[in-house]
Structure 1
Amino acid sequence: MDASHSRSRARRLLPLLTAGVCAAVLVSGCSDTASGSPEAEPSKPASASRTAGDLQSDYQTVIKNVLPSVVQIDAAESLGSGVVYDSKGHIVTNAHVVGDGKTFKVTVATGEKAQRASLVATYPEQDLAVIKLDSVPDGLKPAKFGDSEKVEVGQIVLAMGSPLGLSSSVTQGIVSAVGRTVSESRAGGGTGATIANMVQTSAAINPGNSGGALVNLDSEVIGIPTLAAVDPELGDSAAPGIGFAIPVSMVRTVADQIIKSGRVTDSGRAALNITGRTVVDENYQPAGVALVSVEKGGAAEEAGLRAGDIVTAIGDAPVTTITSLSEALASDRPGQKVTVTYLRNGAEKTAEVTLGEI
């Protein structure tokens, strides 16, 4: 499955669009009371209406609690969303939203006047970034962040952001899957990041939603919407109902380090410490990753790998491209030992590698 980031280059190109929040729809049975027949079907029990009303009330409560913490970010060449991280004016968003920008216009819920913000740091490897408001407005409300360990398939979630420039929009769905590893395209400004443990959701993720909030019914942010699936067979058009959000655990890890140190000091992501390129076989099909260079003292060199070797597998996972190599390593941790299968002068070999860190 391919995935494309939900960045919006064409801002406000659809001024006639109308948007609404789908909360809950109650369908009740109808009784034939017009005939006056005493045998008419009884109406639905009142408890059914109360259940639907309770769910609608839950939605409205979550929106009231969280939407003021979701902002619109206007960069030089893109429009996206962000989430207020703390009372000091730090905002977490996607790296592909900020792009190469250093300053931004941020529209917060406390007023219509756009606020100026500056880049703190970006971390393209995980498609996350932190910016900071130059002046913190009164009433700025940080979001409440949840626990990735409590995210389960089937949970109802709301996605909040500025799809297509429609600020403060909300869509609803469920957690469709957890633990997905997804590679982002570089096309159109994407970072090309391979991100592990993503939350898959059926809530609509559209251009401009990037960097916003995926929220549970406890008013907690459980992820940052980042990618929408595309179907190459349909000309890379969006695949409805398949979106992905960076898990809140990774959001916290990256944001806390950036705020404290101005950069990510401990990525927690495994690496072979090599520079590689995809190679093809005699049928011009991807067949492995050739090591162009190995970092001195890095994981690959320590295990005896050298430039010219062609990696074909990490453990049981086949490696045919740079992307598949990243995906094979995405769920591993620095210091973990893996078996690397590679070709040297046409002969297949294996090496036990203690993984390094990106």
Structure 2
Amino acid sequence: MEIPILDDASPSAPRSPGRARRLLLTLSAGACALALATGCSGADPAAAKATPSGTAQGSVTRDTADLEGAYQAVINDVLPSVVQIDASDSLGSGIVYDDKGHVVTNAHVIGEEKSFKVTVATGEAVLDATLVSSYPEQDLAVIKLDEVPDALKPAKFGDAEKVEVGQIVMAMGSPLGLSSSVTQGIVSALGRTVSESRSGGGTGATIANMVQTSAAINPGNSGGALVNLRSEVIGIPTLAATDPQMGDSAAPGIGFAIPVSMVRTVADQIIKDGKVTDSGRAALNITGRTVVDDSYRPAGVALVSVDRGGAADEAGLRAGDIVTKIGDSEVTTVTSLSEALAGDKPGDRVTVTYTRGGDSRTAEVTLGEI
């Protein structure tokens, strides 16, 4: 299913300050009924009323203080590793990746820019940075500070395999240009595949295995940190869902972050080789376009060109064929084709259903790599 997406930082946060968002915290507690049911024989009535209530209130107070303390500890630990990135006409966020001054962010935050102004939370003056490389296919990029301050603090990155639905998380970044801002929520779901819009500066990337969160993600949060209560970065906030029935306005509490496993895979390659050398992403090795049926509804992807020696070419597909299914997944648009392949790896074999001259056919395709 294609999820409509609002690119939360394309353009990134506008420069007008003074806009904020609200935070809601709810708390509930119950009372002891067992003593009342048994009659509390021989007990002092005043004590019977005071003890359960007092105990519950004390527990709530301690639990609240413990949770607040945990939040504050994480914020104090991680926020110095989250930076604000000024990319000429827009603002976004980034995460200090190592002690050499590398900063990882979203590709759509930096756009076509090559040089940037970076503000760190530790109080240094605005720093200059330059682009190392951008990888729009996964909406990730790495920039590097020209001079590395002594107080620069790299973030600690977590394990994607240990991320679970229900975990408390915080999103840190510069929403709406408000630097060092924090919102709170939970991991709402895992394994989402979503597609960015190309409008407003988005890369058009289809990204698999994203972390869905209820933590608020607003323009300018892109490239920042989604963090667990162990002060570990588990993802990069990238997208917020939109509601088509509400005029494509943002759907509250539905945001998506690129998982830490993909962040580290891409960043490590860029830092080592200056580019991504092994995407790990499957492809048919074709150029395609969406076609429509007689009712002007999207009906498949026509192959405009087929890379010689690529996956589709080796399986006998050719320009003019129209792909309608990958395995059991319907293909109606270029985006749905990307989403159907998002969960596969290079070398996987899939059944491709296509039409040629009006006849429906199938081919077994060994997938190539983007």
Listed one character per residue, the Cα deviations across residues 240-282 of structure 1 (whole Å, up to 9, x for unaligned) are 0000000000000000000000000000000000000000000
Q: What is the 5 A alignment of 1:188-227?
A: 188-227=200-239
- Summarize the alignment of residues 130-149 of structure 1 with structure 2, pairs less than 5 Å apart: 130-149=142-161
User: Letter of the aligned partner of 2:196 in structure 1?
Assistant: E
Listed as ranges, the matches of 1:1-358 within 5 Å are 1-7=3-9, 8-9=11-12, 11-15=14-18, 17-18=19-20, 38=46, 42-43=53-54, 44-358=56-370
SS of the counterpart of 1:48? helix
The structural deviation recorded for 1:308 is 0.4
Q: Distance in 1 between matches of 2:250 and 2:125?
A: 33
Q: AA paired with 1:93? A: T
Which amino acid is 2:91 matched to?
Answer: L
Q: Once superposed, what is the RMSD of the aligned Cα atoms?
A: 1.8
Determine the C-alpha separation between the residues in 2 that align with 1:185 and 1:146.
29
The answer as to whether partners of 1:110 and 1:137 remain within 8 angstroms in 2 is no
Give the CA deviation at 1:3: 0.6
Q: Distance in 2 between the 1:86 and 1:9 partners?
A: 24
The 1:152–1:52 alpha-carbon spacing in structure 2 relative to 1, beyond 3 Å, is same
Cα deviations across residues 123-181 of structure 1 (Å, max 9, x unaligned)? Answer: 00000000000000111000000010001000000000000000000000000000000
Shift of 1:78: 1.4
Return the structure number with greater helix share: 2
**Alpha-carbon deviation of 1:14?**
4.0
Q: Which amino acid aligns with 2:7?
A: H
- Partner of 1:33 in structure 2? none
Identical pairs, percent: 74
For 2:219, the aligned partner's letter is P
Partners of 1:210 and 1:224 within 8 A in 2: yes
Provide the C-alpha distance between the structure 2 equivalents of 1:201 and 1:149, rounded to a whole number of angstroms.
16
Q: Is the 8 A contact 1:120 1:131 kept in 2?
A: yes
Q: Deviations over 1:40-86 (max 9, x none)?
A: 66332422321221111111111011000000000012110000000
Aligned CA distance change for structure 1 residues 18 and 310 (closer, same or farther; 3 Å): closer
SS, match of residue 132 in structure 2: strand
Query: For the structure 1 residues 47 and 268, does the alpha-carbon distance in structure 2 shift closer, same or farther, using more than 3 Å as the test?
Result: same
Structure 1 CA distance, aligned partners of 2:334 and 2:29?
54
- Could you say which structure has the larger radius of gyration? 2
Residue type at the aligned position of 2:69: S
CA contact (8 A) 1:104 1:118 kept: yes
Equivalent pair of 2:109/2:222 in contact (CA under 8 Å): yes
User: How big is the shift at 1:19?
Assistant: 6.3
Change in Cα spacing, 1:329 to 1:2, as seen in structure 2 (3 Å) is: same
- Contact kept, 8 Å, 1:21 with 1:170, in 2: the verdict is no
Normalised by the length of structure 1, the TM-score is 0.94
Q: Is the 8 A contact 1:19 1:169 kept in 2?
A: no
Cα-to-partner distance string for 1:278-304 (whole Å, 9 max, x where unaligned): 000000000000000000000000000
Contact 1:20 1:170 in 2 (8 A): no
AA aligned to 1:307 is A
d(CA) in 2 for partners of 1:26 and 1:227?
Answer: 29
Q: In the aligned structure 2, how far is the partner of 1:291 from the partner of 1:3? A: 26
Distance 1:95-1:9 versus aligned 2 partners, 3 A rule: closer
**In 1, Cα distance between equivalents of 2:22 and 2:73:** 16
Partner Cα distance (1:229, 1:147) in 2: 25
Contact 2:83/2:93 (<8 A) preserved: yes
Task: Note the C-alpha offset of 1:347.
Answer: 0.3
Q: Whole-Å Cα distance in 2 between the matches of residues 328 and 27 of structure 1?
A: 43
Deviations 1:2-33 (A, max 9, x none): 01211145623242x356877x6656799xxx
Amino acid of the residue matched to residue 274 of structure 1?
I
**Runs (5+) with no aligned partner, structure 2:** 32-44
Structure 1 pair 264–69 and aligned structure 2 pair: CA distance change class (3 A)? same
TM-score, normalised relative to structure 2: 0.91
Maintained 8 Å contact 1:271/1:299: yes
Structure 1 residues 9, 150: closer, same or farther in 2, change over 3 A? closer
